[in-house]
Amino acid sequence: MAMTKAEKAEMEALREARDLARALRWPEYAEPAMIPPPDFSGSHTSGWLFNTYRLTAQLGGMGDAVYRAWSESTTHGDGQSPIPHRSATQGGVHLFATRLDALKALRLAVTEEFARKLARVDAEIAAESAKAD
């Protein structure tokens, strides 16, 4: 039997509520291991990085919050490997071995960020409640 528009809307609202409830949890995995940058120049490592700002700057999607990256001992940048004469950022960085590891680390970072914000809101609520008593 086909659902009516009202039933479809209710089902969608239930799915959204379920997804929100699932999102309000601490991840059940540890921070993934990272690949260190090489110790000497002339060599590079390839892997994945994430940028939480890129996640919040995108409306409704992942955008490029998780991306391929490379690192040398003194520089790092986007992409699979360094391209000659292309700009890079100073300092070698640790990379995640897989996109899945970078996504897990992103989830942990975002969870911690919002947990801190919620704790501040809870503290303000407690302070206001204490004033009212």
Considering the entire predicted model, what is its pTM?
Answer: 0.79
Question: Rounded distance, CA 47 to CA 32, Å?
Answer: 13
Q: Is residue 71 domain-resident?
A: yes
Quick: pLDDT tens for 40-65.
877 899 999 999 888 877 666 677 89
Q: How far apart are the first and last CA of the chain?
A: 55
Domain count, the chain: 1
Question: Is 81 a domain residue?
Answer: yes
Structure tokens at 108: 């942990």
Q: Looking at the domain assignment, is residue 2 inside a domain?
A: no
Q: What is the pLDDT of residue 93?
A: 95
The partner residues of 48 in beta bridges, in order of sequence, read 68, 96
Per residue in 106-123, pLDDT (tens digit) is 999 999 999 999 999 999
Domain that holds residue 97: 32-132
What is the per-residue pLDDT for 58? 65
